[in-house]
Every structure is written in structure tokens, then in C-alpha cells.
Structure 1
Amino acid sequence: MNTLRVLLYTVTLAVVCSPLWAQTNTFEVRIANHPVGTIEARQDVNGHAKSIVIKTHIQVMLSKVNSDIINEYNNNILTLAKSTRQSGKNGDDKLTTTRREGSSYSIVVNGKRQVINTNEIQHCVGDLYFSEPKHINRTFSETLGQFLPLKSLGGGQYELQLPEGKKNIYKYDNGTLVQVEVDHVLGKAIIVKSS
């Protein structure tokens, strides 16, 4: 009887102390059909808490960009998002922090603070890496610190409308993100799921 009790306690402790669900997706970034970088997206779910971490590393000729996005949710509501981009070029680096404060969100972009009067952000761009955004018509950009329109194009394709008229197209196969077409200053970049 004691052995059964110890086994049950051990199994319960293992389930409670470890994430109940984790998912990691990796992507290759291509420009003109040449690999120029990688994206690793990880999502951990533990009870009512969810975290998303996205790490991007891109190198095109002498230009190098590293970016990280970290999102934390409680009961499917964003509580904290932090986005950093480092390029090594003066003026190109960016730090955006979004924090839930009561019935609004405080957003600080490179030291400049603004407030969005919404009490819940339930979907961010980072979520696009893990699930098809069915029935979602806007998503919050952790990098820009603002909501962006999201439109279904049918056939598992969605258009994310960016400022200045740019668009990214997210393509899903059976609910899994398989490709993103990105409008970029260097031309069109393609992000393809590799694992």
C-alpha cells in the first residue's frame, strides 16, 4: 500500500511541476530562395498560464538581425509581452514592452510610453506560429505595440496588414503554420516550417 501511495505521489508531483504541454516549431528564413536565418518558436502551457518565446536570427550579407519575443498569458489574457530587436546598426535597435495594468495596457517603445484602453489582449502575432487564427480579425503586434488587422483569404491563408501598406501572408495546413510570406525592405522573404 505504501508503494502505491509513493508511486501516486511521484506521478502527481511530476505532472504538477512540469509543463502540461509544450510545442516547439522551427522555421527557415529565405530571401531569393537562399537560406538567411532561422526562427525558433516555443509555447509552454501549464494550467492557466501560457508562455511563448520566439527567437529569430537573420544574416544577409553584412547585415545581422537578432530578435526575441516573450509573451506571458494568464487565463488566455496577455499579461506581459517583451520584444527586442538588435541589428548592431545605430538607431535600428528596438525594445517594446507591453504590460497589463488593470483595465488597460502600458506600452513602452524605446522609452516612449503610451496606453491602450483595452482590458484584454487575447491574441498576438506570436500566437500565429502555433494555431490557425480562425474567427480572428485583428491581432496585437508585440513589436509595434499596436493592433493590426488580420483577414482570412480562404484555403488556410491569412493576411496580416502592416503599417505603410505592407502585408504578410500566413499559410496553414490542417491548422499548422507551414509558410509566411513577408514584405521586407530587401524584397520578399519566405519563412518555411522546417520542424
Structure 2
Amino acid sequence: MPRQDQFGENINLKKFVKKLIITLAFGLVLLHPPASSQSVVYDILLAGRSVGELTITPPRSGDGADHFRVRGAIDTFLYDVVYVSENRFENGVLKTSMSSQEVNGKLKEKTNTVQTTGNYRVTFAEGNSAATETTQIPHPINYTVTSLYYREPLNMKQIYSDRYGKMCSVQKVATGAYEVMMPDGKKTLYHYSQGQCREVKSQIAGLNLIFRIRPDSVAR
């Protein structure tokens, strides 16, 4: 009998150890989220030369809202530019948006968008000047230029420009390719594969500007 009890105890001990290992392994999976929860990085190419990078922060959900953040840094011979855009959505509707641009360490422009009763209040500041209200947008905003880096604009006709504080048109030109007409009259082309933005093409002063996703940021 004692030997049988010991045998039974050994079996129970093995079962306990097995469950403990499984529990710890599951805990490690939770502590180390999949690659899709990591930042997505794009190389910025100007006229074929690398001049910086664009970092897309993983979407963050909290306080009943979804948060998006994009940060771009460009370093050229003459200019050091840092661009930041942040969105806050609730139930798919934009609540607040902030877009700022610094050149050589000094604020060049900043746009804030806040949803109020029945419309959006948009304020714009240039340099160190006081912010001025530029316009009011009456209809709900469900998609922004920042959103383009987080999801493909399926069936979208218009999106909101965080920087300019205006709506701009979207047109599907090929499978996974969308042309956005920016408020300044420039066209930007966004390419998607499996729902992920892989490349963005635009122009600055007649030079090709490309945002190309790094291989280690491509969704598997």
C-alpha cells in the first residue's frame, strides 16, 4: 500500500508539473505579444536616397477609445524635419486629432481638431504665433490620413487631412492602390498588400518621395 500511494503521488506530481509548465508557457506568450503588436517602420527615400524613417505606433485601446500615432523624421543637408500625428477615435468616430511639424528644432506648424456638438473645431498655429480657428467641419469623421497607415481605405471616398484640417478625396486606381488628392493639390499613392500599407509615393519639389516598409515590419 505505501508503494502504491507513493506511485500515485508521483503521478499527481507529474501532472502538477505539466500544468505548471503549460501555465508558465502561456504566460510567456502573453508577456511577449506577436510581431503585429510591434511598431511598423518605413524607410523614407528622397530621389532614391535614404533620408529618414517613419514609425507607426501599434494601435492602442484604452479609456473606451482607439489611439493612433505616426512619427516621421527626415534629415537632409539643409533641413531636419520631425512630423507627428495623433488620433483618438471612439466607436469609429474621430474625437481629437493633433498634427505638428518641426523644422530644425523649431515648431513650424500645428493643427488641432476637436469634436464638439454637431461639428469639429479646427485650430491652426504657425511657428510661435497664437492659434487661430480656421474652419468647422459639420459631419462625423471616420477616417484620417493617419488611418491610412493602419488600415486599407476600402469603400472610402473622402478622408480627413490631420495636417490641413480639410477633407480630401480618395480614389481606388488598382488592386490595393489608392490615390489621395491632398488639400494642397498634390497626389499621394498608397499601396497595400493583405490589408497592410507597404509603400507610399508622393513628390516634393519635383522629386520622388517614397515611404517603403522595412522587411521586418511586414505582417506574416
Shorter-chain TM range is 0.7 to 0.9
Q: Percent identity?
A: 21
Give the structure with higher Rg (CA).
2
Map residues 6-155 of structure 1 onto 2, 5 A cutoff. 22=37, 24-42=39-57, 43-46=59-62, 48-88=64-104, 93-110=108-125, 111-155=131-175
> Does structure 1 residue 163 correspond to structure 2 residue 179?
no
Structure 2: state its 5+ residue gaps: 1-29, 31-35, 126-130
Unaligned residue ranges in structure 1 (runs of 5+)? 1-14, 16-20
Per-residue CA distance 1:58-77 (angstroms, 9 max, x = gap): 01112110011111111111
Q: Is the 8 A contact 2:113 2:121 kept in 1?
A: yes
Q: Which runs of 4+ in 1 moved over 6 A?
A: none
**TM score, norm. by length of structure 2:** 0.74
Are residues 117 and 145 of structure 1, via their aligned partners in 2, closer, same or farther at CA, if it must alter by over 3 Å? closer
Q: What is the SS of the residue equivalent to 1:61?
A: coil
Matches of 1:166 and 1:29, distance apart in 2:
18
TM-score by structure 1 length? 0.83
Q: CA deviation at 1:165?
A: 3.0
Q: Which has the higher helix share?
A: 2
- Residues 1:107 and 1:22: Cα distance change in structure 2 (over 3 Å): farther
More strand per residue: 1
Is the CA contact 1:70–1:81 (under 8 Å) kept in the aligned structure 2? yes
- Aligned length, in residue pairs: 175
Kindly provide the CA deviation profile for residues 131-185 of structure 1, in whole angstroms up to 9, marking residues without a partner as x: 1101001110101111011110021100010234310000001111000001212
| Equivalent of 1:175 in 195, 198, 212 | 195
2:139 and 2:117 map into 1 onto residues whose CA distance is 7
